[in-house]
Structure 1
Amino acid sequence: MPLHRRHMLAAPALLAPRAAQAQSAWPERTIRITIGFPAGSVTDSLMRNLLEPLSRELGQTVIIDNRPGGNGVVGTMAVKNAAPDGYNQAILSVTNGALNTYLVRNLPYDPIKDFAHTGFLAEAPYLLVVPANSPARSVAELIELAKQRPGELTFSHGNFSALIGSEMLCRMTGTRMLAVPSRGGPEALTEVLAGRIDSTLTDFAAGLAQVREGRVRALGVTSRTVFPLAPEIPPIAAAVPGYELIVWFGLAAPLGTPAPAVARFNEALGKVLAQPETREKLGRLGFAPRAMPPEQWRDFLQSQITSLTQLAREIGLEPS
């Protein structure tokens, strides 16, 4: 066999170890997690508590890039259009991962087809809160007030998931309240703190801190049963049977991200979410950590898009 032909046949064998080494070296630089919601939001709070352990597990720094706007569209699009190398990822939640597909006309991304799904993060309930001086001291009393003053009481919402939760409560109780949009969950809560809005569904950790300082009053939690972190707060379902709203969060990279990078990240994330100290820290903030392999996370997301779209239609929400 001519010498040059032997060299050509040997080349793939010589290159294979180098390719494997390059793949196993991921990550080699900083990983950016883009959040399509403001600093201080529930999504931001969750990810900030994962940065340090995830950085340790991956051996590279993981940072946050907040890009709020358009109910998460701005930040999500930034990642969709980023290089598919695993170094840019977005958090997909109930709002930008599911409800936007129905409620945003001409949505410029598809949460299933445009991303590689790198891992699930956690689930959490919302808190229903009212101003500290509100005459409503329970969910039943808030419902009665709304019935006495149809269309007069207000609720603020900083994202579509909070909107759908409040509209669902109105639908299930035969009441009408006026929806007031805010620029994120923190602002929606601030409006209630100031007494300008009658109620809001707020992020659990942020709301509970204000409740315990006496600045707002908690009427209920959106989980179906009592939430262990605040057993003194009844579930809304105790007054409105069948009511439940759980928000969830996962990560996704641009479509075309190499499978080894997805696998490496998912493995590291699973280890972090299984650590007792991580679970305890997130638990104190109202999060229930939950790891999933990429395929399961993608299937979960598809099922949520289907069920939440149906719910939005039933409630009467229209695309805008």
Structure 2
Amino acid sequence: MPHFSQPTLRRQLLAALLTAALPLVSAAQSGFPERPITFVVPFAAGSATDQLARALGNAVSEQTKQAVVVDNKAGASGMLAAQSVARAQPDGYTVLIATNTTQAANEHLFKKLPYDPVKDFAPVTGLAKGGQVLVVRSDSPYKTAAELVAAARKQPGKLSFASGSASSRVAGEMFRQLTGTDILHVPYKSNPNALTDLIGGQVDFMIPDTATGVPQIKGGKLRALGVSTTQRIALLADVPTLDEAGVKGYDMSYWFAAYLPAHTPPAIVARVHELLLNATRSAGVKSFNDSTGTTAWTSTPEELGRFQASESLKWGKVIKAAGIEPE
């Protein structure tokens, strides 16, 4: 067995450490990004997640002079998008613009996921938080949440609610549970698709995120009956909370966050974190937040990981309380 002196061992150890660190150093010094970045969105064009992703993408592109491509992979409650990012190269060029649907709720809504919401991703930062709003068609006979509840109780199983995300699904189920009503659930690939059918008269109501619902409310196509949060939303100041409207104990919100594939080098995670933090302060993202009733929210990767863990517990309890059986 060869014998090495202490200085030799120290030199070898130092060389090994430097070699291991080279990918991180080169990643930080290579001017990342050197080519277009793809933001993968779990929902359709026009959805809240899509709107935010495009605003962020424009801001990141301005910083880096590289294009940001928004890839909408709608369907399967965001699972298609999450799975594609989980399988992507961990090089920083594929970013999941995620929500509580993909990262906290799905594991409680489905018996088997094609991805692990924790092990398959590297958290980057929170992006925004927001509330939801119960809406009906502008020509609906229901002027208040109480009238909607009364109709649902009078006609068990006749009224229907649409959903295009886990948030809107659980929001509707919670409404049904807290009001003791029998209402049919009609699932959609994304909230914009569901709103189209709501406006067209195919379903009776839904509880989308404010980013998707507010433009239709302001445009006169939908009527707001209540917001999902415990406090009124400034953008809809004259709309009561659902708790105020008689659905006691109602409280729902949603969030957006950015994730990279697991095993992305820490230097790349740090660089994407820096780019996104700057992007959240941009005029485009501020405009998105102001116009949709959402609030900017950023975090360190570690804080996002802890937040996701607590949210998974919360959503698990809400889904169980709403009586939703995993599919």
TM-score scaled by length of structure 2: 0.89
Instruction: Name the structure 2 match of 1:267.
Output: 274
What's the secondary structure of 1:136's corresponding residue? coil
Task: Report the more deviating stretch, 78-87 or 202-211.
Answer: 202-211
1:131 and 2:137 matched:
yes
1:207 to 210, 213, 217: 213
Assess, with a 3 A threshold, how the Cα gap between structure 1 residues 22 and 254 changes in structure 2: closer, same or farther: closer
Matched AA of 1:119: T
1:304 and 2:293 matched:
no
Gaps of 5+ in 2: 1-7
Matched AA of 2:319: A
**What are the residue-to-residue correspondences of 1:211-226 with 2, within 5 Å?**
211-226=217-232
Instruction: Name the structure 1 match of 2:80.
Output: 74
Matched AA of 1:20: V
Matched AA of 1:132: S
Instruction: Name the structure 1 match of 2:255.
Output: 248
Cα distance in 2 for partners of 1:43, 1:81 equals: 21
What's the secondary structure of 1:98's corresponding residue? helix
What's the secondary structure of 1:202's corresponding residue? coil
- The answer to whether the 8 Å contact 2:48/2:209 transfers is yes
2:67 to 46, 61, 71: 61
Q: How big is the shift at 1:177?
A: 0.8
Q: CA RMSD in A?
A: 2.3
- The answer to whether the 8 Å contact 1:58/1:265 transfers is no
Q: How big is the shift at 1:253?
A: 0.8
Matched AA of 1:68: A
Assess, with a 3 A threshold, how the Cα gap between structure 1 residues 35 and 178 changes in structure 2: closer, same or farther: same
- The answer to whether the 8 Å contact 2:52/2:288 transfers is no
- The answer to whether the 8 Å contact 1:127/1:203 transfers is yes
Instruction: Name the structure 2 match of 1:290.
Output: 297
Cα-to-partner distance string for 1:137-174 (whole Å, 9 max, x where unaligned): 01111111111112211111112211110110111111
**What are the residue-to-residue correspondences of 1:101-112 with 2, within 5 Å?**
101-112=107-118
Matched AA of 1:70: A
Matched AA of 1:39: A
Cα distance in 2 for partners of 1:224, 1:98 equals: 21
Gaps of 5+ in 1: none
Cα-to-partner distance string for 1:208-255 (whole Å, 9 max, x where unaligned): 222223222111111211101121222112122321111111111111
Q: How big is the shift at 1:59?
A: 4.2
- The answer to whether the 8 Å contact 2:25/2:267 transfers is no
Assess, with a 3 A threshold, how the Cα gap between structure 1 residues 212 and 278 changes in structure 2: closer, same or farther: closer
Q: Taking every aligned residue pair, what percent have the same amino acid on both sides?
A: 35
What is the number of equivalent residue pairs in this alignment?
A: 314
1:319 and 2:322 matched:
no
Cα distance in 2 for partners of 1:18, 1:98 equals: 32
Q: How big is the shift at 1:179?
A: 0.6
1:197 and 2:203 matched:
yes
What's the secondary structure of 1:234's corresponding residue? coil
Matched AA of 1:28: E
2:152 to 146, 149, 161: 146
Instruction: Name the structure 1 match of 2:183.
Output: 177
